[in-house]
Structure 1
Amino acid sequence: MHPNPAFRPRQDDLAALLVREIGFAAIFAATPDGPRVAHAPVVLSADATTLQFHLARGNGLTKHLAGAPALAVVQGPDAYVSANWYADAATAVPTWNYVAVEMEGVARKLEDAELVAQLDTLSTLHEARAGENPPWTRAKMDANHFARLTGAITGFEMRISAWRPTVKLSQNKDAAERERVAAGIERTGHGALAHLMRQLADDKAEA
């Protein structure tokens, strides 16, 4: 998390919204073999207190994660910021604008039925986003084949004890400077980040 409090989201629900919208995280934990990271789709509970995910049984984290503290990081759009975009380039340095949400907690292994429920939740959510009609469901699969595949993965649930979101979108600059940066970011092909910067400006203006 960035130490500057200007980059903390003002909206209480923004971090959870970003986790749900992005839906994919890097999971970090210490193991006897050293620090390891895995990458997985995630499901945030309705009350934003737990995060579920699953890993391949052969993943370097899987056999060490149950009962261990873990860190999940969801990353949003990011982009380089050229010092040339500031009004006074002589006193500016390049930087990076980005969105990231860190969640910390202890992980537990899911029971088989909980893992299947997680997989159903993931497919239901993302089939709807993909616009599939009718959507794919596991009912289309051979039951024995599904069982073999789920036997190759392990589900986990992390109870979130700490949230550390960073929304670094030039909030420490004035409105004109932020717009110059947003325009530069947009020119480099990072339209989503430029949109977020302008949305933040609109939200601040309405506050």
Structure 2
Amino acid sequence: MHPNPLFRTEDRALIERLVEQVGFGMVFLTIPDGPRVAHTPILMTSDNRLQFHLARHNALSPHLDGAQALVTVNGPDGYVSPRWYDNRDTVPTWDYAAVEIEGNVRAMTYAELEQFLHAVIEKHEERIAGERWEATETNAQLWDRLAKGITGFEMTITALRPTLKLSQKKSPEERQRIANGHAENGSGDLAEFMMGIAR
């Protein structure tokens, strides 16, 4: 988390919306072989829990049940050029949104894992244009074999540490110019996020 309090928020709904929109995170844990990270789809539930799954043979999988872990979710980000400032006699920086999620992890049952998988599929199939794919299109034997190759985990969230570094130190006019710069250079999602939480 960025040390500047200007880049923090207590807006839980905004944090949850960011996690929901991204839907993908990185799980960090120190294991006997050293620090490791795994990348995974995630779901935040309404009861302050975060769910995810890893391959059964992932280095983290045998160590997560009962552990305290950290998950990070990276939202939109983009380079900020001094050409967008009133005074160009400065240096570049980076705008970004990210959330650190800390908590205690437990392994899911197979039934819970299946419920999680169906929820993830439902969520992301809704986001894609065209004819939907349904999990029932996979034959039961193949589904069972592949599902048994992964482990589901659920984290009880004990801390949420968001960083929304979105040029808040600049004037409203400069922030609009920066947002326009992001939009014109392939970071439209960052521009929308910036202006959606303008202060």
TM tier, shorter chain? over 0.9
Corresponding residue number in structure 1 for 2:60:
61
Mapping 1:18-167, distance limit 5 Å: 18-47=18-47, 49-90=48-89, 92-133=90-131, 135-167=132-164
What per-residue deviation string (whole Å, max 9, x for no partner) do you get for residues 2-56 of structure 1? 1111112353310011111111101111111111111111111023x10001000
Q: Percent identity?
A: 48
Q: Which amino acid aligns with 2:103?
A: G
Corresponding residue SS for 2:111: helix
5+ residue gaps, structure 2: none
CA deviation string 1:115-166 (max 9, x = no partner): 0111111111111222454x33332222121111111100000110000011
Amino acid at match of 1:19: V
Q: 1:176 is matched with which residue: 169, 173, 176?
A: 173
What amino acid does structure 1 have at the position aligned with 2:115? A
TM-score, normalised relative to structure 1: 0.90
Deviation at residue 95 of structure 1 after TM alignment: 0.7
5+ unaligned residues in a row in structure 1: which ranges?
Answer: none
Q: Normalization by structure 2: what TM-score?
A: 0.94
Say if 2:189 is the partner of 1:200: no
Question: How many residue pairs get matched?
Answer: 199
2:184 and 2:118 mapped to 1: Cα distance? 40
Q: Is the 8 A contact 1:81 1:95 kept in 2?
A: yes
